[in-house]
Chain A
């Protein structure tokens, strides 16, 4: 009877793990579609999630002794509450945004951070609470119940949740449907925690039934809760890459990708500028490659009568919607390719007369890949001798700020390594035209020669793209500007600075508070917690690093992100089993696993540095597996060293969560954008070396 109940507790922990990961992934996606979709926001969510979880865990330790002594009925009720809070959190993220902020406006760093904390706090605190509380419940039945078993169950749940979402739910369910499915399972699991015949079972059954009814009712909130910037929502799709919405307003269709308007069928400026600036430079246009597109572009390209237009768009949901609503026209020779553009080029021998990049600002690592020296070199290899390569960024307007000057200089410097002539045209956006031959600034004259008519370029060019404005941009170029590379994504750092500048804020206050909080925590922590903290930081830091490196070399991160996350969770399980068996070895096992972590990171970095281009996918996964294995081994050992009492388990869970939170944040928003891949790895190695040195020095034989 006792073991059956323990089994049900473990089962509940597994299901909780599944719902927590599915909820986390969906809430991250929701934030990305409602706020800035950059790494800062992702890191803030993960950080808040983990820290709040850590607080919840700590609270469980404090509350379980007096206020809320552990028992299964309370655990079942708390789990049911968790199941309801999950979709409510998603709804809150969606709906409160327009209550708290001006509809249609961007939100700054601190406001975003505050909003994240406020909306996810109830769910995350409770989530952090129930994990150790489950352990305490199990220990009521069996005082010697190992915390590692809960840890293992939680890992199984996390891993299953990651796989369930990445390989199934993301394809077949809307966010609310996905949450209803997993949380209904949690309600049922919580109900079955109480064996048949016990007097609270009926009440719990009623609660579960009400919960399931409530969850079902939430399915009807899906469409009404989506944002309404202006107009009627005529198309909504959750693709594996993000949220695609089309709004119709008085005949105009606008496609929003993750909450931002990216295509409009009435934006003539962009269509004409992005097509005619580069193509007018060519004597003959035979083959064109478009890396993404803008509304109305095809109509403009057709004026050159090209033999082929290869249009690469990674998300089929976007092209489907664009063609369905006539925002892009199918023209003769058009070939739509649903692939990552870098991957497509690496597998193609085709030479193009023009390669036109139509991407948003490089504010994420993913977009930054199309503004680096490696991509520019790749584009150059696929151009004909007279071919032209074009990309654009936000125009500096009437004044070139220092941040803008730096951004333009880096892009110019990066392109200069591959092209002998670079023409910068400050139109509605700043266009970079790159070629191996002299380029002409008199676009209207070239269009007139070709007898190509335009509405915008013809009349506005001479007033907007004046020699004076071109000259001012050239005069602000910094000749010593660094190059933007895959390893060192400088544009991401610039875009972060730009974001802060727009909101007249600085990350300094946040950094200072974080450092202070961290110092207080580390000073109060015990040695085994310190090791777990550094390992948590190393694991999450490595995960971010692997995701980043993977997309640099393979580009198709979206397909593999579920796999990477799963691998990073998968190692924890065998690791925990090994740790549980070897826990009596004590701190020596810390030393061994720390050495393993450092060695793995050094080897991985060396492999990337010397053979990044030929490294197989499996190498990334093996590295992830080793890191999570080491992390998994250390956890039971820390539990053993710290003592078997409940507070020790709470401290261990908290250390792991807080370390993971700090690792995610530091790597994503400080190390990677400002110091690059190699220095990030060096920082992680240094941190673990410090941990190793400390464990070795304090090792009591």
Chain B
């Protein structure tokens, strides 16, 4: 009996230590509430309760667009998620927190990713071709796309990454030092670091550096209107034309994205659209036809549309790549519906990488990857038939 008791005591001590180690060791690793594993649908996502840091840091600023509510709560008004946060909560995008009844961004002046890319990589084919773009991102995203290309920065908190110390003034200076003509807010979801982007864009505009938004387009009208005042071009993802698919694969809704396109069009911002053709989901010809009809009815025929080839990635890693004939079929549908410039991306050497005049159908820009020859274009017009080609072809075209 004595032996039995002592063994139990010993085991109790050992297992207690193991438990402590497991919990203690993992404490720092435990992710915030709302972080969900893959399920039947990404569905609606939720704010992170009691997840704000104890205190603000150097890279914090009071948010530009929010509403104070009773009981110290606040509602962020940047994106259609409209996160309502109690004191100590964190937004869906992970970048905003409620500290003592005020909404703060934690993603200001701390980009985690900074590169210089060809503008065609964004992709922007009708905006200053062959130029190089200073590209940067802080963390965060309003969506939860299963195939996210940048999940290591879009699905984490600002405090979890290594970052640069690059406040707006310094960011613009750095862009100029790298001999780039534009800053692209890209990679993650730039609308989640809205304040940083706005302040940087204002300074950039003053210094004649263009501002490019590469985004999911999930933004409310008021902040978007503010942004449009300093924005030169955008590439907005139209992930599908089905609200259920938006919920299932991306954790967002379709209508706000469509509204963004209308606002950009109305504000006369150059924009291009990108749709990733995910096999089995975003490859239904009827859906694509409806999408293209909506585009031509609401935005006109001149905004370029890029169909990108899907490759298995991140959580969506058990699907095949998109068949090239399927992409060609979607392009044909889009052109049948009247969209003039429809490209196929992620397929090297494909003829739909090039730009053809919508009037005479001759090749005016040849693209071999990022090697570009715009021999068929002169002053923004087709060299063969003198038709004006929609786009911003040199810096003087539009300011």
Residues on B with beta carbons closer than 8 Å to the beta carbon of A201: none
Contact yes or no, B26 A254, CB < 8 A = no
How far in angstroms is the closest Cβ of chain B from A34?
A: 9
Q: For residue A511, give the distance in angstroms from its CB to the closest CB of chain B.
A: 4
Bound-state Cα–Cα, A470 to B310, Å: 25
Within 8 A of B (CB), among A388-418: 396-399, 401-402, 404
How many angstroms between the C-alpha atoms of A401 and B162 in the bound complex?
8
Q: Does B50 contact A (CB under 8 A)?
A: no
A102 vs B250: C-alpha distance when bound (angstroms): 12
Question: Please, which residues of chain B bring their CB within 8 A of the CB of A461?
Answer: 369
Interface string of A511-548 (1 = CB under 8 A from B): 11001101100110001001000000000000000000
Docked pose: A399 CA to B312 CA in angstroms: 19
Chain B: CB-nearest residue to A264: B321
Binds B, one of A49-57, A105-113, A190-198, A550-558: A105-113
When the two chains form their complex, are residues B323 and A105 in contact, meaning their CB atoms are under 8 A apart? Answer: no
Which of A102, A230, A508 is close to B30, meaning CB atoms less than 8 Å apart? A508
Distance of A35 Cα from B264 Cα, bound (Å): 42
A229 and B318 in contact (CB under 8 A), knowing A398-B115, A502-B151? yes
As a 0/1 sequence over residues 63 to 105 of chain A, the CB contacts with chain B under 8 angstroms (1 = contact) are: 0000000000000000000000000000000000001111111
Asked if A468 is at the interface of the complex by the 8 Å CB criterion, the answer is: yes
Contact of B369 among A101, A111, A259, A463 (CB under 8 A): A463
CA distance A518 to B19 in the complex (A): 10
Residue of chain B at shortest CB distance from A401: B152
Which of A147-155, A244-252, A364-372 touches B? A244-252
Partner of B319, one of A104, A252, A459, A511: A104
- CB-nearest residue of chain A to B24: A508
A214 interfacial contact with B, CB 8 Å: no
A348 in the interface (beta carbon within 8 A): no
Contact A104-B316, Cβ < 8 Å, known A466-B116, A506-B26: yes
CB-contact partner of B323 in A250, A259, A501, A512, under 8 A: A250
Interface string of B8-34 (1 = CB under 8 A from A): 100110111011001101110111000
**A505 CB–B CB distance under 8 Å:** yes
Roughly how many angstroms separate A523 CA and B279 CA in the complex, as a whole number? 53
Given contact pairs A105-B146, A398-B115, A523-B11, A515 touches B22 in the complex (Cβ within 8 A): yes
CB of B3 within 8 Å of the partner chain: yes
Q: Does A446 reach chain B (CB closer than 8 Å)?
A: no
Total interface residues in chain A, CB < 8 Å: 73
Asked whether, in the complex, the Cβ of A398 is within 8 Å of the Cβ of B4, the reply is no
The reply to whether B320 and A462 contact each other, CB–CB distance below 8 Å, is no
B161 at the interface (CB under 8 A from A): yes
In the assembled complex, the CB of B247 is this many whole angstroms from the nearest CB of chain A, namely 11
CA distance A511 to B21 in the complex (A): 10
Out of A107, A272, A396, A459, which one reaches B367, CB within 8 Å? A459
Q: Does A599 sit at the interface, judged by CB under 8 A?
A: no
Q: Chain A residues near B3: list those with CB within 8 A.
A: 697-698
Which residues of A have CB within 8 Å of B118? 463
Contact yes or no, A463 B117, CB < 8 A:
yes
B368 at the interface (CB under 8 A from A): yes
Are A458 and B16 in contact, CB atoms less than 8 angstroms apart? no
B197 at the interface (CB under 8 A from A): no
Cβ < 8 Å to A, chain B residues 97-132 = 112-113, 115-118, 120-121
Interface membership of A261, Cβ < 8 A? yes
Contact A105 B150 (CB under 8 A): no
**When the two chains form their complex, are residues A504 and B349 in contact, meaning their CB atoms are under 8 A apart?**
no
B233 near A: Cβ within 8 Å?
no
Residues of A within 8 A of B152 (CB): 396-397, 399, 401, 404, 501
Bound CA–CA A211/B149 (angstroms): 50
Cα distance, A99 to B326, chains bound together (Å): 26
Q: How far is the CA of A104 from the CA of B312 in the complex (A)?
A: 9
Query: Which residue in B7, B19, B27, B367 is a CB contact (below 8 Å) of A698?
Result: B7
Residue in B closest to A472 when the chains form the complex, CB atoms: B115
The verdict on A260 contacting B317 (CB below 8 Å), with A111-B37, A463-B118 known, is yes
B340 on interface, CB distance cutoff 8 Å: no
Centre residue among B8, B116, B326, B369 by max chain A CB count within 10 A? B369
Question: Is there a chain A Cβ closer than 8 Å to B348's Cβ?
Answer: yes
A504 touches B35 (CB 8 A): yes
A251: contacting residue among B26, B35, B323, B371, CB under 8 A:
B323
Q: Is there contact, CB below 8 Å, between B22 and A397?
A: no
- Assess whether B364 is interfacial by the CB under 8 Å rule: no
Contact of A399 among B37, B38, B113, B329 (CB under 8 A): B113
Q: Check if A614 is an interface residue, CB within 8 A of chain B.
A: no
**Chain A residues positioned under 8 Å from B347 (CB to CB):** 268
**Shortest Cβ gap from A454 to chain B (Å):** 8
A583-B248 Cα distance, complex, nearest whole Å? 61
Determine whether B71 belongs to the interface, using a CB cutoff of 8 Å to chain A: no
Q: Are A459 and B37 in contact (CB under 8 A)?
A: no
Closest chain B CB from A434 CB (angstroms): 26
Q: With the chains together, A264 CA to B346 CA distance in Å?
A: 14
Expressed in whole angstroms, the Cα–Cα distance for A106 and B147 within the complex equals 10
Q: What's the Cα separation between A511 and B325 when bound, in Å? A: 48
A229: B residues at CB distance < 8 A: 279-280, 318-320
Query: Is A609's CB within 8 Å of the partner chain B?
Result: no
Chain B residues lying within 8 Å of A527, measured Cβ to Cβ, are 4, 7
In the assembled complex, the CB of A587 is this many whole angstroms from the nearest CB of chain B, namely 12
Instruction: List A residues 238-285 near B (Cβ within 8 Å).
Output: 247, 249-252, 254, 256, 259-261, 264, 266-269, 272
Question: Could you tell me the distance between the alpha carbons of A267 and B311 in the complex, rounded to whole angstroms?
Answer: 9
- The answer to the question of A509 belonging to the interface, with a C-beta cut-off of 8 Å to chain B, is yes
Query: For residue B326, which residues in chain A have a CB less than 8 angstroms away from its CB?
Result: 249-250
A249-B279 in contact (CB<8A): yes
Closest B residue by C-beta to A506: B29
Instruction: Report A244 CB to chain B, min CB distance, Å.
Output: 14
Q: In this assembly, does A139 line the interface, its C-beta being within 8 Å of a C-beta of chain B? A: no
A261: B residues at CB distance < 8 A = 312, 317-321
* Residues in B neighbouring A506, C-beta threshold 8 A: 26, 29-31
Contact present for B15 and A463 (CB under 8 Å)? no
- Whether A458 contacts B12 by the Cβ 8 Å rule is no
B302-348 CB contacts (< 8 Å) to partner A: 311-312, 314-321, 323-326, 329, 347-348
| Docked pose: A527 CA to B161 CA in angstroms | 50
Contact for A508 among B7, B11, B25, B187, CB less than 8 A: B25
A505 close to B35 (CB less than 8 A): yes
Which residues of A (146-198) have their CB < 8 Å from a CB of B?
A: none
List the B residue with the shortest CB-CB distance to A498: B152
Chain B nearest CB, measured from A107 CB (Å): 5
- Residues on B with beta carbons closer than 8 Å to the beta carbon of A460: 348, 369-370
A466 to B4, CA, bound (A): 67
Q: Is A199 an interface residue (CB 8 A)?
A: no
Contact A252 B116 (CB under 8 A): no
Q: Once the chains bind, are B320 and A247 in contact (CB under 8 Å)? A: yes
The reply to whether A463 and B120 contact each other, CB–CB distance below 8 Å, is yes
In residues 642-656 of chain A, which contact B (Cβ within 8 Å)?
Answer: none
Query: Given A106-B318, A229-B319, A252-B320, is A111 in contact with B150 using a C-beta cutoff of 8 Å?
Result: no
Q: Which one of B35, B39, B120, B321 lies within 8 Å of A267 (CB-CB)?
A: B321
Q: A105: which of B18, B115, B315 is its contact (CB, 8 Å)?
A: B315
Can you identify 19 A-B contacts, CB atoms within 8 angstroms? A102-B39, A102-B316, A249-B320, A252-B324, A259-B318, A264-B321, A267-B311, A268-B347, A399-B112, A399-B113, A456-B369, A459-B349, A459-B369, A462-B369, A463-B118, A506-B26, A506-B29, A512-B22, A516-B19
- In the complex, besides A102-B146, A511-B26, A523-B11, 16 extra interface pairs with C-beta distance below 8 angstroms are A102-B249, A107-B37, A107-B38, A108-B38, A261-B319, A396-B152, A398-B113, A399-B150, A463-B118, A466-B115, A468-B115, A506-B26, A508-B30, A515-B19, A523-B12, A530-B7
Write the residues of chain B forming the contact surface with A, with a CB cutoff of 8 angstroms.
Answer: 3-4, 7-8, 11-12, 14-16, 18-19, 22-23, 25-27, 29-31, 35-42, 112-113, 115-118, 120-121, 137, 146, 149-153, 155, 161-162, 187, 248-249, 279-280, 283, 311-312, 314-321, 323-326, 329, 347-349, 367-371
Ranked nearest first, the 6 interchain pairs of A and B with the lowest CB-CB distance are: A459-B369, A508-B26, A519-B15, A108-B37, A455-B349, A504-B35
